[in-house]
Structures are given as structure tokens and as C-alpha cells.
Amino acid sequence: MRNIVLIGFMGTGKSAVGKLLARRLGWTFIDTDRRVEARERATIAQIFARRGEHYFRESEARVIAELAGRRDTVVATGGGAVLRPENMMHLRRHGWVVSLTATADVLQQRLNNGKNRPLLGGHVQSNAVARLLDQRRPLYRDADLLIDVSQGSPAKIVEAIVSFMGKRERRVVAVRLEGRSYPVYVGDGILPLLPLDLDALRAGKKVAVVTHRAVLRGVGQHLVTGLRGWDYDVTTVEVPAGEESKSLVVAARILTRLARERFDRHSTVLALGGGVVGDLAGFVAATYMRGVRFVQAPTTLLAMVDSSIGGKTGVNHAGIKNLVGAFYQPRTVVADVGLLATLPDRELRSGLAEIIKTAVIGDAVLFEYLEQHLSAIRRRETEPLIEVVARCAAFKARVVEADELEVSERRILNYGHTIGHAVEVATRRGRLTHGEAIAIGMALEGELAQRLGATDSGTVERQNGLLARAGLPVALRGVNTRALWRALALDKKRLNGVLRAPLLVGIGEVRREQEVPNALLQEVLSRASGARRLRAKPQPAR
């Protein structure tokens, strides 16, 4: 997000507001007057007396120029900083300018001790305040947000600023479900605005942050600090990294922890992590006291564009993925692409597989955008990331709105996953990421669609070409074909022993769950892996 720059006449409370705002956002607070005093080793009054106003303004300008490149900072400027256009040019480059205003009478009452106000002299005169205010008023009005501080407390002013940031810094995708609609916020650095959303939900003050230790040590600690700055009672719940966390045993431990901490039905469970954390925390939120508020704050690209939206929650059991679960929609999703800066490259590519899948099944414009901007996305440039995450969220929202419980339209989201999930099962644990397996699944299911006459070779080549450019595998290598076939035989989408899967038609279009003959499926898999032909042994669905 952009910095917040506070301007305004002396006595408007810039320092008090700035300190509180920084504490609640978990940001750094800098007062330019105090920074100048520290460098000069003298008070502002002493600087004026010894070296004059011009010297002070020069020193102030140097400090402001140095601050311009900072991030996550609240800057409170001196009352006269606006007098130099270059100061405001520097501050606007990476910041929203918020002007705190008040009438001359109010300011005079506040400035009842002018010993450190050199421009006012030792005794504050009403005409001196009015004169300076009249000179600077046009400059104070040149701001992104003006707030009259005459009546409001610092806390109320901070709430107004955060509300402004929420509107300016985030793209909003609405998931419209009857009685359970919720927003998906997409932006850069927007996670500190989450308390604003909790307040809108009228959530209770108890929040459980479910996350991994590595996440908690980084962005998680900043989030927890920010929540506590808004007076939330935060309980952190660490779970082990990896699929092993998605179990009834781990879920039971979290449920016990919530009970011991006396969480009630107004409390919130916040998932801060990837898809595993989201699925687990969502299941806990759905079952604790028959349902408490649930918020998703995904930290991986894959979770931002897929698992955090739509309400699928669950844990693995009896060796079967997501055997126990529920459809339980979050109340808010915060997709902060700034969190992707430290995401390992392989995990970023894994998320790209889901984005390309989205484009292939339902958004030809997104596919073209990816073809043009893939390099920028892989470099993690902010605007392209926001664009693709928002477009994927919008598509997922439309599908979920049409078919929340996955009885019809939502099944198109399984494209690439039928074979992809089987590839995950058939390979050694950790050898392939979820996205890599899905990319292979898309390539093979594309070939099935071509063999069945649903699509043409050009469409399949275009899909596979983009996957390859994203650094994803499109060939079946080193996979035990017998294990792959066993996994497919247990696929829940089988009907009377015949597999059903979405079929690619064209970029942006798939057919929903068509029958795939066992003989053709076995032939495509055997040829792709270079294995000898296997005899199909279909089994009933489980």
C-alpha cells in the first residue's frame, strides 16, 4: 500500500494521529520535525533562533526527500512542509496525503503554549494563527483526504483514514450467495486493513490466527501486532507445515484450544497460510459451536486464486483426501499480493497452473493477458499480479454463485484435476507440487479431449505452450503407471466404472464432465509415460 502522509497546521494533532495509525497498521511512524531535531541536535525553536527559517526548511526538505522511498510508513510533516512544492512531490510519489484541518479559533485554543512554535512567537495571538492559516489553507486543501479534527478524537480520525485506505487500495470482488455474500479484497500490502473488515462484520474481540510457524514469525507477527493495536484478543495457533496438518487429530487440538480460550459464536477463526491451513481452519470454524466467523488470508498464489474462495473446507481421513469436510463460506477473503514477494519460485509456478486453468476453462481474455504478461507475473510485478488474482477471483465467484454445492456447473473447476490428483497420489510425496500435477493433468486431459473430437490440436498446443512458458511440466515422467491407474480407479467422479471429466473445447470453454472410455484413458496414459499397455480394471466409485 501507499504510505500515509499527514499535513496540516500546527496543533491539528498530526503526531498523535500518526502514532496511533502506525501502531494499528503495524507500520513505522516518522515525524519530520523530530527527525530534523535529531539530526541538528537542537529543537526547532533553537534552529530558528540560531540559523533561521531558511536553514530549517532546507534541512526539512532533505529529510522528506530521504523518506520518499520508504514503504509501510506514516509520515507526520511540519506545518510548513507544504510551502515547498518539491516536498509534496516526493511525499506523493508513494503516499496518500491526508490533511487534518480545524478553524483558527480551535487551533488557537490548542496552541495555548507557543514556546516551541517559533513562527507564532512566545505568546499565541489569534491574528498570527489566522494569518498563517489563511496563507497555507489552499496548500492544505490540496490533499487526497481532508478531515476536520475539531471534534473527532485521534481514534475516530484513524478510523476515517483506514476506511479511506480500504476504498482506495483494494479491488473488491463480491461472492453473492443468498444470505451469505462476502467480499474478496485484492491489493498490495492490504493485510493490515483486516481489522476494518472485522469491525464491519461486527465480530467479537477474540480472534484465533491459525498458521504455520514460519508464517507467524514473518507477516503473521505484524498482523497479530496490528490486531492487538485495534484491541483484539488474539490467540495464535501453530500447525505443522504440509498435508499432515489436515487431519481430525489436528482439528481436534484446535477445537480444544478454542474451548479453553473461551471462544464463543461471535469469535473469529482466521486462516493465515496456504490451502492446507485454509481447509483445516475452515473445517474448525464450521464445526466449532456449529459455526463461527471465518476469514481467509491466503499467503500463496494458489490459495489466493482457488482454495480460499468457495467455501470448501475439510481434512483428510482414512488415507482419502478431504474425506471429512463441509461447505462453509468465509465472511471475508484478503488476497494481499505483497505476501508473494517471499514465496518460493516453485510455489509461484504452482499457483500459475491454477490461473492458467481458470483462463482455459472460462476466460479467454485472461488467457491472452497471460500470454502477454507472463514474464512480468513471474517477476512478481504488482499490477499484473493484482489483475490476474482479481480476474480469477471473479471467475471463481461466478461459478460458486451458480453452483455452491458442486452439483453441476462448479464441476468445470475439476479440469486438469481428475488426472492431476491421480498423479499426485502416484508420485512420491513431495516430488510434485499440486500445481505441477495439475499442469500434467491439463495436458493429458487436453489430449483426451482432442482424441474424443471435443477440441483441436491447435487449442491443446496453445494451452501446453503457456504451461511450459510458466515453467510447469506437461509430460508424464517417472510416474508409476499402475499406481496412477489405481488412483484413477478410485476417483469419486466415476459412474458405473466409467470416469467422467471436463473436456476442453476451446480457450475459455470446457464441457462439463463427459464420459472418458477406459480404453482411451489407459492408452493415453500408457503412451504418455512410455509404459507398456495396461489392462483397465475399473472399480466402483467410493
User: By the 8 A CB rule, do 450 and 516 touch?
Assistant: no
Q: Is 434 a catalytic residue?
A: yes
Could you tell me if residue 356 is left (phi over 0), alpha (psi between -120 and 50 degrees) or otherwise beta? alpha
Which member of 87, 316, 414, 518 is catalytic?
414
Who's near 540: CB < 8 A, 6+ residues apart? 494, 496, 497
From 354, 424, 445, 513, the catalytic residue: 354
Count, residues in the chain? 542
**Catalytically annotated residue among 290, 428, 532, 535:** 290
Which member of 391, 421, 494, 500 is catalytic? Answer: 421
How far from 186 is each of 155, 167, 198, CA to CA, in Å? 26, 11, 16
- 136 among known catalytic residues: no
Known catalytic residue at 90: no
170, 196 in Cβ contact below 8 A?
Answer: no
Based on the residue annotation, tell me whether 54 is a catalytic residue of this protein. Answer: no
- Annotated active-site residue in 14, 90, 206, 410: 410
Known catalytic residue at 396: yes
User: Any catalytic annotation for residue 357?
Assistant: no
Residue 414 annotated to the active site: yes
- Give the separation between CA 462 and CA 464, rounded to whole angstroms: 6
Catalytic residue among 417, 493, 494, 500: 417
- Catalytic residue (one of 35, 110, 246, 312): 312
Catalytic residue among 238, 243, 371, 406: 406
Neighbour count for residue 320 (Cβ, 10 Å): 11
- The answer to whether residue 312 is catalytic is yes
CB of 417 closer than 8 Å to CB of 445:
no
Quick check: is 317 catalytic?
A: no
Contact between residue 261 and residue 207 where contact means Cβ atoms under 8 Å apart = no
- Residue 119, exposed/middle/buried by CB under 10 A (0-12, 13-18, 19+)? middle
Catalytic residue from among 434, 493, 494, 500: 434
Full DSSP string of 54-103: HHHHHHHHHHHHHHTT-SSEEEEPPTTGGGSHHHHHHHHHSEEEEEEE--
- Among candidate residues 117, 331, 396, 494, the one labeled active-site is 396
**The three cell numbers locating residue 90:** 516526493
Catalytic site residues? 290, 312, 354, 396, 406, 410, 414, 417, 421, 434
